[in-house]
């Protein structure tokens, strides 16, 4: 009832003057028209035979499979990160929260190429000692800032502990000529110009969107449920697992779907960090790029249509979940 | 020390800019006290502090059943809470709501079943055990919340304006159920309310705040 009243208050109950209405309709029609024309242009560029031919290409089939695998891996990773981060940001009022909140949005705002370039430099040009040193410095600055602002003692101790640990690691590893890539390759997880690197290149932006989705989801769930659960014997973690997460399940699926869709559209970071090697690190977005490069416009258009189909399907799932109580 | 069930000794609470000045209260075992006062005087803040849902009071101490609980976690205090917005867990059936606490505390399945069915019988919920909260009326939802709060046989039952928003007939019905359950379960109760009528029907004593 209350919901009905609210939605009624948001809509016009008296029809607007027709020139004004016409202006609004013109703007939306022009915008939707442009989107439809873009899709239509792809449809007109490709024939069924060309589409079927490119989809039979072994490299393209590998690209489609790698796209599904990497997007799914990125989505799962993003959900694992976004649930605790979104929950923390939604429930915990701490000093520096606005700063952390802004930091988490940076991957969304950065030009995609910079994400890829930063990963490339991090894994190949910066020594582990320097990485640990930077982490130690960051933790120390955060701890000093926390002390100055009289922040939570446990968090400050954690930061100081982190600064000491990373500082020691930095000292221990100093003098080593190896890069981060050398280390991860040695333990069996090579990243740069490797399929695993595709996931890492997709992850920062996808996770940022998933975090936003989860925070909104948790914001919409009353903390009262957790409080009641706590009077019944739950600790915070149990309250999250037993009470909040079942309520947030649609939001979790929406966050995963959103991350999947973002990962699907990722191109710049993959090109720079994982490369666009046919049959190895090629995903659909890079396939389109490669097809254009070799002058196969119908092929590129066919792959574009496939990506549009996947993106629209994903969006429909997210909208459906949002309509059924998931927060997006 | 006294032999009261709940003893508040100069409890001072700070919630943002609001400061609840030192407040003392002594509730005997099995007694039902209605806590009344104007809006914004800190009734709910005090109740949440007693339940452990706010960071410990800045001053004073809370003693429940002879044990100081001032800094104990909410679940370790032995308090059942029926909040103002009822807050039934939307994804759990009535049965699951009531057995939530006992299961969490590792009760034997038979013991859980017996407790749930006994409470459901007393609260008139037997036919509703498989329902989800969205299918319950306001009065039924409050009875479920009462059952959930009482399931663990708490030492203290806290009711935070739990009857607000009900029409008169339902209000009187649920009020009667609460009175009956407090007597049957022999639980000490602290009932925050704005209603003099509720206080008269339910409480052995009225305490005014503010």
Neighbouring residues of A283: CB distance < 8 A, sequence distance ≥ 6 = A63, A66, A67, A70, A198, A270
pLDDT on residue A14:
84
Average pLDDT, stretch B186-198? Answer: 92
Calculate helix-pair angle for B94-104, B138-150, nearest 10 degrees: 20
Type and span of the H or E element at B80:
strand B79-82
- Judged by CB atoms closer than 8 Å, whether chains meet at B75 and A233 is answered as yes
- Which residue shows structure tokens 């003392």? B24
- Put residue B64 in one of left, alpha, beta given phi > 0 → left and psi -120 to 50 → alpha: beta
| Residue numbers in B near A238 (CB within 8 A) | 104
Q: Percent of chain B at pLDDT above 70?
A: 99
Nearest Cα of chain A lies from the Cα of B91 at a distance, in angstroms, of 7
Residue of B90, B98, B153, B155 for testing the chain A interface, max A β-carbons within 10 Å: B90
Give me the pLDDT at residue A94, please.
81
Query: How close, in Å, is residue B151 to chain A by CA atoms?
Result: 9
Q: Which fold has domain A48-125+190-323?
A: MetI-like fold (1.10.3720)
Is residue A68 within a helix (H) or strand (E), and if so which, with residue range?
helix A58-91
Report the chain B residue with the minimal C-alpha distance to residue A224.
B87
Q: Is A24 on the interface with B (CB under 8 A)?
A: no
Q: Do B74 and A247 touch (CB under 8 A)?
A: no
Most confident of A11-20, B146-155, B199-208: B146-155
What is residue B174's three-state secondary structure? helix
Q: Inform me whether the C-beta atom of residue B149 falls under 8 Å from chain A C-beta atoms.
A: yes
The nearest CA of chain B is from the CA of A224 a distance in Å of: 6
On whether the CB atoms of residues A70 and A274 are closer than 8 A, the answer is no
- Cα separation of A241 and A238, whole Å? 5
- What phi and psi, each to the nearest 5 degrees, are found at residue B177? -65, -45
Prediction ipTM score: 0.92
Domain ranges of chain A: 48-125+190-323, 127-178
* Length of chain B (residues): 210
**What does pLDDT average to in each consecutive run of 10 residues of chain A (328 residues)?**
52 86 96 96 90 90 94 96 96 85 91 94 91 93 87 88 93 85 92 95 96 95 95 95 93 92 94 92 94 92 93 83 57
- Number of A:B CB contacts under 8 A? 61
CB-based contact (8 Å) between B77 and chain A?
yes
> Is the CB of A240 inside 8 Å of chain B's CB atoms?
no
Report whether pLDDT(B39) > 90.
no
Tell me which residue in A228, A232, A247 faces B91 most closely, judged by beta carbons. A247
Q: Do A231 and B74 touch (CB under 8 A)?
A: yes
How distant is the Cα of B79 from the closest Cα of chain A, in angstroms?
7
Average pLDDT for B124-138: 94
Contacts of B89 in chain A (CB under 8 A): 225, 228-229, 243, 246-247
CA distance to A236, B38, B74, B140, B148, per residue, from B92 (Å): 19, 35, 21, 15, 12
pLDDT at residue B3, rounded to an integer: 62
Residue A234 has its nearest CB partner, among B48, B75, B79, at: B75
Nearest to B26 by CA among B201, B188, B210, B192: B188
Minimal C-alpha gap between A326 and chain B (Å) = 14
């Amino acid at each position: 009832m209350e919901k009905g009243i609210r939605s009624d208050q948001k809509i016009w109950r008296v029809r607007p003057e027709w020139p004004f209405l016409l202006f609004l309709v013109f703007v939306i029609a022009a915008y939707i028209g442009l989107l439809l024309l873009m899709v239509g242009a792809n449809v007109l560029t490709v024939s069924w035979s060309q589409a079927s031919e490119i989809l039979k290409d072994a490299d393209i089939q590998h690209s489609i499979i790698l796209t599904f695998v990497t997007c799914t891996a990125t989505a799962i990773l993003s959900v694992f990160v976004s649930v605790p981060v979104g929950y923390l940001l939604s429930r915990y009022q701490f000093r520096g929260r606005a700063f952390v909140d802004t930091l988490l949005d940076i991957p969304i705002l950065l030009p995609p190429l910079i994400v890829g370039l930063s990963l490339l430099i991090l894994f190949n040009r910066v020594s582990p000692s320097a990485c640990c040193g930077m982490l130690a410095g960051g933790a120390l600055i955060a701890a000093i800032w926390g002390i100055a602002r009289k922040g939570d003692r446990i968090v400050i101790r954690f930061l100081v502990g982190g600064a000491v640990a990373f500082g020691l690691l930095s000292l221990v590893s100093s003098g080593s000529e190896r890069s981060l890539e050398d280390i991860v390759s040695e333990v069996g997880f090579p990243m740069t110009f490797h399929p695993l690197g595709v996931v890492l290149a997709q992850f920062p932006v996808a996770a940022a969107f998933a975090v936003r989705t989860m925070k909104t989801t948790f914001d919409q769930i009353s903390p009262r449920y957790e409080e009641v659960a706590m009077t019944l014997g739950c600790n915070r973690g149990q309250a999250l697992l037993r009470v909040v997460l079942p309520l947030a399940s649609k939001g979790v699926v929406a966050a995963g779907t959103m991350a999947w869709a973002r990962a699907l559209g990722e191109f710049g970071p993959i090109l720079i960090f994982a490369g666009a090697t046919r049959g190895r690190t090629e995903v659909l977005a890079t396939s389109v790029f490669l097809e254009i490069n070799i002058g196969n416009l119908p092929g590129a258009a066919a792959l574009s249509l496939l990506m549009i189909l996947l993106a629209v399907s994903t969006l429909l799932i997210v909208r459906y979940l949002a309509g059924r109580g998931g927060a997006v | 020390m006294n032999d009261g069930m709940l003893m508040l000794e100069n409890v001072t609470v700070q919630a943002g800019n609001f400061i609840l000045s030192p407040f003392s209260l002594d509730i005997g075992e099995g007694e039902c006290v209605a806590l009344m006062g104007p809006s914004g005087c800190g009734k709910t803040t005090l109740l949440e502090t007693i339940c452990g849902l706010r960071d410990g009071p800045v001053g004073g101490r809370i003693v429940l059943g002879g044990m100081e609980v001032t800094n104990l976690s909410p679940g370790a205090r032995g308090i059942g809470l029926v909040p103002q917005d009822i807050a039934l867990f939307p994804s759990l059936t009535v049965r699951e709501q009531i057995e939530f606490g006992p299961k969490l505390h590792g009760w034997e399945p038979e013991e859980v079943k017996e407790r749930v069915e006994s409470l459901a019988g007393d609260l008139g919920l037997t036919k509703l055990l498989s329902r989800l909260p969205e299918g319950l009326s306001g009065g039924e939802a409050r009875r479920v919340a009462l059952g959930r709060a009482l399931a663990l046989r708490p030492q203290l039952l806290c009711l935070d304006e739990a009857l607000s928003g009900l029409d008169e007939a339902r209000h009187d019905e649920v009020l009667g159920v609460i009175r009956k359950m407090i007597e049957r379960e022999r639980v000490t109760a602290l009932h925050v309310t704005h209603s003099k009528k509720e206080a008269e029907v339910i409480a052995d004593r009225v305490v005014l705040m503010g």
